[in-house]
Amino acid sequence: MSSLLISYESDFKTTLEQAKVSLSEAPSQPLSQRNNTLKHVEQQQEELFDLLDQMDVEVNNSIGDASERATYKAKLREWKKTIQSDIKRPLQSLVDSGDRDRLFGDLNASNIDDDQRQQLLSNHAILQKSGDRLKDASRIANETEGVGSQIMMDLRSQRETLENARQTLFQADSYVDKSIKTLKTMTRRLVANKFISYAIIAVLILLILLVLFSKFK
């Protein structure tokens, strides 16, 4: 393993732990401080993804053994999942919570009337529902893409099966043609043999008649 790859891995683990600590402390912080913490975590999240990309490039360049390279790439995929589960999702949850806190804080601090307050709350609820629908649409699209890929694989497999069956039919047709030719040849030989048999019988009858004629003459 190259020294650069070791350095990237060390930076990644350090940044990941710092981001986890910041996320664990953010919920108990005042709103303004929490916003600053979340912005810093967002920067750390981008840095983590950048480090993964750099490690991926370095793995391709510095690790020659295919098995070792595949093992390290599997580790990179696991780290990417860790960022998604331990950083990105909790961060988004805290950001959404902060947005709600700011909204309700503004509502309580302002002098707007009840109708405006209700309208803002209604708009916020609509936005949340739209976000949920977008997430569902994205999930359905991913599932549809997976089903489409499976269908394409099935169709490709069926096409190969049909091509094999077609080839088999061509071979069978060739065998049938050969069989027909063989049968025609055998038929011609049978007819020829029949005429030869008739000729032999006729000759024998003629000989018998000649013998009889010579005997009674």
Place of tokens 């302002």: 110
User: What's the pLDDT score for residue 106?
Assistant: 45
Per residue in 140-181, pLDDT tens?
Answer: 876 777 677 678 777 877 888 888 888 888 888 788 888 888
Per residue in 16-70, pLDDT tens?
Answer: 999 999 989 988 888 888 888 889 999 999 999 999 999 888 888 887 788 888 8
Q: What is the pTM of this model?
A: 0.47
User: What's the pLDDT score for residue 33?
Assistant: 87
List all residues 6 or more positions away from 16 whose beta carbon is below 8 Å from its beta carbon.
48, 79, 82, 83, 86, 87
Per residue in 58-93, pLDDT tens?
Answer: 888 887 788 888 898 899 999 999 999 899 888 888
Contact 59, 76 (CB under 8 A): yes
User: What's the pLDDT score for residue 123?
Assistant: 65
List all residues 6 or more positions away from 5 whose beta carbon is below 8 Å from its beta carbon.
55, 58, 59, 62
List all residues 6 or more positions away from 44 whose beta carbon is below 8 Å from its beta carbon.
15, 18, 19, 22, 87
Contact 38, 95 (CB under 8 A): yes
Total residue length of the chain: 217
DSSP one-letter code for 28: G
Nearest C-alpha neighbor of 34 from the set 127, 130, 85, 99: 99
Crossing angle of helices 3-25 and 31-62, rounded to 10°:
160
217 confidence band (pLDDT: 50, 70, 90)? low
What distance in Å separates the CA atoms of residue 117 and residue 113, rounded to the nearest whole number? 6
Straight-line distance from the first to the last Cα atom of the chain, in angstroms, rounded to the nearest whole number? 121
